[in-house]
Chains A and B, each alone.
Chain A
């Protein structure tokens, strides 16, 4: 893998040694001045207030969305359920199938051309077809998110398993390990960083998949809410919904980051320290 997608964070940010309040203040000052410019541009009529709502209006419309009318909750719940269910089903399916395919070179060889064609197809484009097959309910949405979440883990797992270190596999064989042991003790742990990269990509696209599914099949969900608010030209409400989606996206991303740090603990300093402390404790207790 020569330089794949690196979606983790912004690279090249050395630790800033100025005091925390100074940093926060600077960021806040920039943010506030951006908002102020936007506010005044709209207030003085340089931009159409119907299309570009003022920041104050956007923050104001969080109140009816979340508190007074509280319409966001049911949509939020549906979207989260779709995202999580589709993510779990899709990634598990992808990893399992890839492990099965990776075990046999023949299967892999015959699958490859189909995988390439499927990879080039924009997955979300299958949305309308799924609707025709599964109707307008939860099933179609789940299927779309599952499909969107399937590929990245599948392809990463397959690639990682096929590029397993032959010397290690040889060593396991010469130590008399069974095929299952070779798989679970060397190949899969070795493949884990790449598998997790695929899983993270799946998580990043799951929310988008759910939203598209909701755009094209309208019953409930954040996508529907967003669509309705824009159709009513309630742009400040639409922006508030969009910001909520940013927050949801960030929460999912942070969750994924945490899980990844625990699963492939040997890739980061803190995880390594935690794991070795745990092991030391266990050994001490044994003694």
Chain B
């Protein structure tokens, strides 16, 4: 039926890609480079050429990972706490940033009077507010969420504003001459036009939300992946702290990939593959609509 053709085509493409000799050779050399690197590192660690306190061997790090994730499983709770703090901060800061950006985009006067404060906020390192936020919000989760929200605010605000203001004059003219209402102009013209830039800002903000949560945890916390890392490095258990660091990279990748997927989904017209899929779906829907209209009920 209709769905079968592109599906089987895609599968065939995948098989061809995976058996392509150039692709295979490339993957193989990547693997070879990686394993040589790990091998040399391990050898240096085993023979005492690398100090255990400075750079533990890969096997020690792997062992620490095993301990953290399987034997004790203590990392999961900390991982969740930081993840939650970063995402909550992202949502709160993002909502405030976008709301103010929309207001600023719609009103020149508001934009003008908010500008000096936005500039001041931008040049102040958000991280500097950590001690004050801890005094205000306490040692629990809320101070971390607040810091993440503060750090996230500016990139989202400025990208949303720039995106909304980038509207093409001719298109705006067309909307007006077609008698579009203000709301229609906003939702059908300005927002779609701004979406790529908004998502660029969201992607940057997502990773900085994680940084905010982690830094606030360094300053004072009882749970979270940042405090776990600090605890291990104070104990000079470098292998475990590198294992935690790797987990932070994993969390960063997870958050970034989630944003990237949202970007591909929402701003589908900027990605070739997604564009084709969406237009295929629309075509099918239109075609079905036409058929029902044509066929007698």
Instruction: Name A's B-contacting residues (CB within 8 A).
Output: 2-7, 9-14, 16, 26-27, 30, 51, 109-110, 113, 117-118, 120-129, 131-133, 204-205, 207-208, 211-212, 215-216, 222-223, 226-227, 229-231, 233, 235, 238-239, 242, 245-246, 249-250, 252-253
Determine if B159 and A6 form an interchain contact, defined as CB atoms under 8 angstroms apart: yes
Q: Name the prevailing secondary structure of the A interface residues.
A: helix
Contacts of A113 in B (CB 8 A): 30
A10→B108 CA distance, assembly (Å) = 12
Extra contacts, 20 of them, besides A132-B234, A215-B218 (Cβ < 8 A), are A3-B196, A7-B155, A10-B104, A11-B162, A11-B165, A12-B161, A14-B108, A51-B136, A110-B33, A120-B249, A120-B253, A122-B211, A124-B214, A129-B242, A132-B241, A211-B125, A226-B128, A238-B132, A246-B124, A250-B119
Q: Does B192 contact A (CB under 8 A)?
A: no
Determine if B105 and A12 form an interchain contact, defined as CB atoms under 8 angstroms apart: yes
Distance (whole angstroms) from the CB of A254 to the closest CB of chain B: 9
Which interface residue of A4, A121, A211 has the most chain B CB atoms within 10 A?
A121
Stretch at the interface among B68-76, B177-185, B199-207, B281-289: B199-207
Determine if A132 and B214 form an interchain contact, defined as CB atoms under 8 angstroms apart: no
Instruction: Name B's A-contacting residues (CB within 8 A).
Output: 26, 29-30, 33, 53-54, 104-105, 108, 111-116, 118-120, 122-132, 134-136, 154-155, 158-159, 161-163, 165, 196-197, 200-201, 204, 207, 210-211, 214-215, 218-219, 226, 229-230, 233-234, 236, 238, 241-242, 245, 248-249, 252-253, 256, 270
Determine if B204 and A5 form an interchain contact, defined as CB atoms under 8 angstroms apart: yes
Determine if A13 and B270 form an interchain contact, defined as CB atoms under 8 angstroms apart: no
Q: Name the prevailing secondary structure of the B interface residues.
A: helix
Among candidates A109, A120, A215, residue contacting B252 with C-beta atoms closer than 8 Å:
A120
Contacts of A204 in B (CB 8 A): 123
Which interface residue of B127, B135, B218 has the most chain A CB atoms within 10 A?
B127
Contacts of B196 in A (CB 8 A): 2-3
Determine if B219 and A215 form an interchain contact, defined as CB atoms under 8 angstroms apart: yes
B129 closest partner in A (C-beta): A242
A242→B121 CA distance, assembly (Å) = 11
**Given A5-B200, A12-B161, CB of A242 within 8 Å of CB of B105:** no
- Please list 17 pairs of residues, one from A and one from B, whose beta carbons are closer than 8 Å in the complex, sorted by A's number: A6-B162, A7-B122, A10-B111, A12-B105, A110-B30, A110-B33, A122-B210, A122-B211, A125-B214, A125-B245, A128-B229, A128-B230, A133-B54, A226-B131, A227-B219, A233-B135, A249-B123
**Given A110-B30, A226-B128, A238-B132, CB of A120 within 8 Å of CB of B256:** yes
A95→B14 CA distance, assembly (Å) = 37
